[in-house]
Amino acid sequence: MKLFDVYPLYNVTPVKAKGIEVWDDKGEKYLDFYGGHAVISIGHTHPHYVKRIKEQLDQMAFYSNSVQNPLQEALAQKLGDLSGCENYDLFMCNSGAEANENALKMASFHTGKSKVIAFTNSFHGRTSAAVAATDNPSINAPINKQQEVTFLPLNDFDAFEKAIESDEYCTVILEAIQGVGGLDEPTTEFFQLIAKKCKEHNVVLIADEVQSGYGRSGKFFAFQHHGIEPDIISIAKGMGNGFPVGGILIHEKFKPSYGLLGTTFGGNHLACAASLAVLEVLESENLIENASELGAYFREKAAEIPEIKKVKGRGLMIGLEFDFEVADLRKKMILEQHMFTGSAKNKKLLRFLPALNITKEDIDLFFEALKKAL
């Protein structure tokens, strides 16, 4: 059997990694400023993370959600403490798409409606409702197009007010900082208008923090830069530092009932151990502050490079915009400079999504390499 060929692959085979360092099968070293698409939050093979998972594996890897699992409770408690979102309940699943799928489902259950407001250049995943709320027709199959989604331009106050006044919608879903789309974000005024109007019209506000959450923006959640409180927050990526895990934080005003949501693998023992290890390291190594400080340092350095036309994003969720398409630059960065970076729907944007414990020296190395590649 061969692999279903859906990924255009670089000819690099990583076999070992530590922190932001990655080695390929020939022993060549690379620096990972992409974090496997914003997934690596505390660094590859962090010793505390490895220890926690190994210990859990020796105890028990999995049991279903039909029995008590104190690890899930410990995780919910720690997540509430660190994020400041104590007035939410946690439901665990396995990926970002699944998180958004459950968030959209909750919004529909809650309101009895099905229409969704999403935004231009959004990306929410590839499952049924999540992909329908993703602004990319090429990944929406006819079966996905049954969902009714209205795409509005980000930060268009009039278009938003007009749509929400219709009282047809169950939810507004948005990324607090757009990832795949290219690092655009709602202004504070726009976010606050959305929150206010959602309350007035009993529309569920979903903040997709799958990529921007877990400290990457310099606060635990990126919506916290804007003084609003979403109804549901979706999480994944940095949550497990590579272990496949996701979840939604559901405001306590939503009442659960048995069977409303469910999953076989979600919240399993290994996923909880990985997720707890991530939170413990984020806290003990002050990585959210580090993301904020190093993000500021990165911007200072970027300002010294004339080819960079704009720096977008917050913390260590950064996009560098050039006045040319960056596919070749990204290729040079990986094949010649041995540095992983990311791309976006905006083809002129190079994305920087490293682990949150990088240092100023790492950033210096990145810019030295970027200058050479330019």
Ligand X SMILES: Cc1ncc(COP(=O)(O)O)c(C=O)c1O
Cα(218)–Cα(291) distance, integer angstroms = 5
Using CB under 6 A as the binding rule, whether residue 79 contacts ligand X is answered as no
Using CB under 6 A as the binding rule, whether residue 243 contacts ligand X is answered as no
Rounded to a whole number of angstroms, the minimum distance from the CB of residue 165 to ligand X is 27
Cα(14)–Cα(20) distance, integer angstroms = 12
Using CB under 6 A as the binding rule, whether residue 294 contacts ligand X is answered as no
Using CB under 6 A as the binding rule, whether residue 249 contacts ligand X is answered as no
Query: For 176, left (φ over 0), alpha (ψ -120 to 50), or beta?
Result: alpha
DSSP state of 348: T
Q: Which of 32, 184, 208, 231 binds ligand X (CB under 6 A)?
A: 208
Using CB under 6 A as the binding rule, whether residue 211 contacts ligand X is answered as yes
Rounded to a whole number of angstroms, the minimum distance from the CB of residue 209 to ligand X is 8
Q: Which of 35, 179, 230, 238 binds ligand X (CB under 6 A)?
A: 179
CA angle 78, 80, 83 (to 5 degrees): 100
Contact 216, 315 (CB under 8 A): yes
Shortest Cβ contact with ligand X: which residue? 96
Report 96-115 residues binding ligand X (CB under 6 A).
96-97, 100
Using CB under 6 A as the binding rule, whether residue 231 contacts ligand X is answered as no
Rounded to a whole number of angstroms, the minimum distance from the CB of residue 94 to ligand X is 8
| Nearer of residues 340 and 370 to ligand X, judged by Cβ | 340
Q: Which of 110, 115, 124, 330 binds ligand X (CB under 6 A)?
A: 124
Cα(284)–Cα(286) distance, integer angstroms = 6
DSSP state of 284: H
Q: What are phi and psi of 311, to 5 degrees?
A: -110, 125
Using CB under 6 A as the binding rule, whether residue 180 contacts ligand X is answered as yes
Q: Which of 175, 184, 185, 362 binds ligand X (CB under 6 A)?
A: 175
Rounded to a whole number of angstroms, the minimum distance from the CB of residue 167 to ligand X is 27
Query: For 338, left (φ over 0), alpha (ψ -120 to 50), or beta?
Result: left
1 alpha carbon, distance to own chain's centre: 33
Rounded to a whole number of angstroms, the minimum distance from the CB of residue 92 to ligand X is 13
| Nearer of residues 135 and 208 to ligand X, judged by Cβ | 208
Using CB under 6 A as the binding rule, whether residue 221 contacts ligand X is answered as no
**Interface mask (CB under 6 A) for ligand X, residues 300-319, using x and -?**
--------------------
Return all residues near 92 (Cβ < 8 A) that are at least 6 apart. 72, 75, 245, 246, 247, 263, 266, 267, 271, 272
| Nearer of residues 103 and 373 to ligand X, judged by Cβ | 103
C-alpha separations of 255 from 91, 99, 231, 368, 370 in Å: 13, 18, 12, 53, 51
Using CB under 6 A as the binding rule, whether residue 342 contacts ligand X is answered as no
Q: Where are the alpha helices (DSSP H) in the chain?
A: 35-38, 47-59, 70-83, 96-111, 128-132, 157-165, 188-200, 269-284, 287-302, 327-335, 360-373
Using CB under 6 A as the binding rule, whether residue 373 contacts ligand X is answered as no
Using CB under 6 A as the binding rule, whether residue 230 contacts ligand X is answered as no
Interacting stretch for ligand X, rule CB under 6 A, among 7-15, 57-65, 117-125, 189-197?
117-125
Using CB under 6 A as the binding rule, whether residue 245 contacts ligand X is answered as no
Rounded to a whole number of angstroms, the minimum distance from the CB of residue 248 to ligand X is 12
Residue 305, amino acid? I
Number of residues binding to ligand X, judged by CB under 6 A: 15
| Nearer of residues 90 and 370 to ligand X, judged by Cβ | 90
Count Cα neighbours of 211 within 13 Å in the Cβ-side half-sphere.
Answer: 30
Rounded to a whole number of angstroms, the minimum distance from the CB of residue 305 to ligand X is 26
Cα(53)–Cα(276) distance, integer angstroms = 10
Q: What are phi and psi of 22, to 5 degrees?
A: -130, 135
Say how many C-beta atoms besides its own lie within 10 A of residue 128's C-beta.
Answer: 18
Report 45-64 residues binding ligand X (CB under 6 A).
none
Residues that bind ligand X (CB under 6 A): 37, 95-97, 100, 123-125, 175, 179-180, 208, 210-211, 236
